[in-house]
Structure formats: C-alpha cells, structure tokens
C-alpha cells in the first residue's frame, strides 16, 4: 500500500467517503437514526443505561432545538435524570446492593452521554467528576471493586501534569506471591475510565487485573497533549508503578487501545515492546487518518457529532486548519519512523468501512517492522462492532498463555 494518501474514490470506504451521514442533520436525526436503537438494546455507548432514561431527554432536546453536543446547554438536559438515579441508588445501598449498583451504573451512562462528545468546558468537567463519583459508589459494592488510584508521574517532564489517575481492579487472590496478568486499557476520545465495566468484568473472569487510563488530550489525563512522546512517558510511569506493586505479572501485560486509544496502543507496542506481551489497536488511526483529505471527510461520518472540534482540541491545535495541515508530520507513526521499531505481538482490528479512522491505517502497518496480526470485519463501522470483541478475547487468552 502506498504511503501517499489515496486519491478521491480510491479509499476502501468507496462512495461513502464523500457522504455526510444522516444522523448529523441535528439532534432529532441523531436520536432517531443512530442512538434510539442501541439505547433500546443497551448497546454501545448505552451499556447499563435504560431507554426510558434517555427518550424524554432527547424529546426535550428536540423540542428546544438544542443540536450541538459540544454545548453546556445540551449537557444540562441530562443532569436531573442522572442525579435522580444517584439519589435512588443512595437509598438502596443498605438494603439491596445489587439494585443500588445497577442504578449507579444507569446514572453513569446518563452522565456519559451528557458529556459527549468531548469534555471541553468547566461544566462538562464537573459532569465527569459526578460520573466518576457515582461510578466508584457502584464499584465499592462489588465483590472485586474497582479502586480509584492515583500514582506519581515519575517520568513526567515540566510539560506534563501530575499525578496519574487510574482505575485498578485486581482478582481476589492477586498478591506478591501470586501476581496476576493485567490489561492496560487505553481509553478513547469520549470513552473514559468509568465506561469500561463490561471489559473489566471480562478480564476479571479470566483472572486478569485491569489498569484503566484516560489517554493524552482527554478527560483528566496529565500528559502533554501536544507532545507525541508524552504518551511514552505516561506508559513508563504506569508500568514502573505496576512493577513496584508486586501484584502484577509483568511478563503478562497486554495493552488494549480503543479508538483514539488504539493509536496509543500501536505506538506503545513499538516504544515499549520489551515491557508488553501484546498490544491491541482497535479502530486505530496511525497515518492516513492525520491527513487533511481524510479529516475533511471523516468529520461527517459515524461520530455522533462533527468530530473535528474534539480531535483538534485533543491534539492541542489552535484551530481546525492548523490540525489538518500539520498533524500528519507530527503524529503519523510512519512519518516519525515509530513503525520501523521492533514491536511486541500486535493485533489490529477494525471494521472495513470505518469512516472515522481508515482501515488503510491498520493495513499499512503490515508493510513495516515486525509482522502484525490483523482481523477486519467486513461491512462494519468504526471499531468493528458487534463482532470485534469475539476475536479480541481469544487472542488475548492465547497471548497470555504463550508467555513462558
């Protein structure tokens, strides 16, 4: 595959490359054409949510003609519902822990959709804080709770903040005498630490720990969003902390990056190859994604709103043109030579018609450095859902088992 950006109509996305997806017409279209069905089935991004929580909120948004998720005006419509659910859960904690946990998680889902598509204001930051508070209330009720852990950013430079917030979940029998394998889960552009209960349950069921972290440029991650190497410093601090803890089997650490986090996982597979047993880049943009030709079209695809404002702020550019004109030289794993480094085992997985991060970016990596493993799901959008995880977990099990 050529490093040159594919010309018009030569992307694997085909005719869809030029389409503006219909849910972007406004909040009514978003609800009716994209979100109502997954909400009714508790599918992504509505895990743990209830249709009856969201339908009246979106009806109110439609009636008030609030069409941008980037505004505090949008976010405020969700807060009464979330606060009501937290209050109901608080009343049940002493009598029915399971019911209370379920209500807290419903509230967290409402808070999550409220802070979509990007935490870009003080108010949305406060909503994220409220979500985290509700989430830890739920997690404290579980047999194996998730702990809100803060560690020192020992590899930080003056451009990075301190400390590093993590969500950590250990199997009951994990100890220094019986260290457990672990998954370092790198979150995405809008999916953050409290949005991964199902994944941490899957890891726990296999006897693995979870270490969940927000990626640079999102939520409360302390890494410098403008510096590609800030991520390397972040992973170094986390892995060093894990090694000192003694409860993690440092020979069996896999990192899994989700969407924008997929870029970080692919990068870490190369920069930290000697410290990882494996890495998964799911829905990863690595080279073509950062080109102007792609970004001008990708902003109008399956992301719930125009993706360009969130991406521009995530990577720390002054405006959209600055991002589209300059991002590839700074962030491309090909142009910067990262892909020529030795890699640990690396699985690339995505849908073939991903309109946010091109499937070409996963395929391209097969032409560089160490051999890669790939699984692409035909006719599926960004991340390759719903089938993707059915391939990820067996791959992880095989990697964990293969380490001597």
Task: State pLDDT tens for residues 299-327.
Answer: 999 999 999 999 999 999 999 999 999 99
CA-nearest of 309, 312, 270 to 290 is: 312
Residue 217 in this model has a pLDDT that exceeds 70 = yes
Domains recognised in the chain with CATH numbers:
22-142 (1.20.1440), 144-404 (3.40.50.1820)
**The pLDDT value given to residue 404:** 80
CA 1/CA 9 separation, integer angstroms: 16
The neighbouring-strand residues paired with 347 are: 280, 373
Residue 7 in this model has a pLDDT that exceeds 60 = no
Task: State pLDDT tens for residues 57-70.
Answer: 999 999 999 999 99
Average pLDDT (186-209) is 97
48, 190, 195, 354: the catalytic one is 354
At 221, list the tokens.
């991650």
Q: Is 402 a catalytic residue?
A: no
101, 259, 291, 332: the catalytic one is 259
23, 153, 287, 382: the catalytic one is 382
CB 165 within 8 A of CB 193: yes
Average pLDDT (208-231) is 98
Query: Given CA atoms 37, 41, 46, 52 in this order, what sign does their dihedral have?
Result: positive
Sequence-separated (6 or more) residues with CB below 8 Å from residue 85: 53, 103, 104, 106, 107, 110
CA 58/CA 110 separation, integer angstroms: 12
pLDDT > 90 in the chain, percent: 97
Average pLDDT (5-27) is 85
CB 156 within 8 A of CB 237: yes
Q: Is 23 a catalytic residue?
A: no
**The pLDDT value given to residue 121:** 97
CB 343 within 8 A of CB 280: no
Residue 209 in this model has a pLDDT that exceeds 70 = yes
For residue 321, count CB atoms less than 10 angstroms from its CB and return exposed for 0-12, middle for 13-18, buried for 19 or more: exposed
Alpha-carbon distances of 176 from 24, 154, 329, rounded to whole Å: 51, 22, 44
For 27, other C-beta atoms within 10 Å of its C-beta total 23
Q: Is 382 a catalytic residue?
A: yes
For 389, other C-beta atoms within 10 Å of its C-beta total 16
CB 110 within 8 A of CB 47: no
Residue 10 in this model has a pLDDT that exceeds 90 = no
Task: State pLDDT tens for residues 109-146.
Answer: 999 999 999 999 999 999 999 999 999 999 999 999 99
**The pLDDT value given to residue 9:** 47
């Amino acid at each position: 595959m050529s490093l040159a950006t594919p010309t018009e109509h030569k992307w694997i996305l085909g005719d869809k490359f030029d389409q503006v997806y219909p849910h972007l017409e406004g909040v009514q279209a978003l609800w009716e054409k994209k979100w109502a069905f997954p909400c009714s089935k508790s599918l992504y991004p509505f895990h743990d949510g209830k249709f009856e929580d969201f339908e009246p909120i979106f009806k109110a948004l439609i009636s008030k003609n609030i069409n941008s998720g980037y505004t505090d005006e949008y976010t405020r419509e969700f807060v009464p519902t979330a606060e009501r659910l937290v209050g109901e859960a608080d009343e049940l904690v002493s009598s029915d822990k399971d019911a209370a946990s379920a209500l807290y998680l419903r509230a967290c889902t409402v808070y999550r959709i409220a802070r979509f598509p990007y935490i870009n204001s003080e108010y949305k930051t406060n909503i994220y804080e409220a979500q985290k508070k509700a989430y830890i209330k739920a997690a404290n009720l579980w047999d194996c709770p998730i702990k809100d852990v803060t560690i020192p950013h020992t590899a930080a430079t003056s451009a990075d903040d301190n400390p590093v917030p993590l969500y950590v979940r250990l199997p009951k029998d994990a100890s220094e005498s019986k260290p457990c394998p672990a998954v370092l889960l790198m979150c995405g552009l809008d999916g953050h630490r409290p949005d991964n209960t199902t994944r941490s349950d899957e890891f726990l069921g296999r006897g693995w720990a979870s270490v969940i972290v927000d990626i640079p440029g999102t939520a409360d991650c302390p890494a410098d969003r403008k510096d590609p190497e800030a991520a390397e410093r972040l992973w170094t601090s986390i892995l060093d902390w894990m090694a000192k803890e003694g409860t993690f089997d440092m020979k069996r650490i896999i990192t899994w990056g989700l969407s924008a986090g997929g870029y970080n996982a692919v990068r870490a597979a190369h920069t930290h190859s000697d410290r990882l047993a494996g890495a998964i880049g799911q829905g990863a943009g690595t080279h073509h994604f950062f080109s102007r030709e792609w970004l001008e079209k990708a902003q109008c695809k399956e992301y719930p709103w125009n993706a360009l404002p969130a991406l521009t702020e995530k990577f720390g550019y002054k405006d959209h043109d600055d991002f589209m004109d300059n991002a590839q030289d700074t962030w491309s794993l090909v142009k910067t030579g990262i892909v020529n480094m030795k890699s640990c085992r690396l699985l690339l997985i995505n849908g073939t018609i991903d309109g946010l991060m091109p499937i070409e970016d996963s395929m391209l990596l097969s032409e560089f450095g160490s051999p890669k493993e790939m699984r692409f799901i035909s006719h599926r959008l960004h991340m390759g859902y719903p089938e993707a995880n059915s391939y990820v977990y067996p791959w992880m099990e095989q990697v964990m088992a293969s380490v001597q």
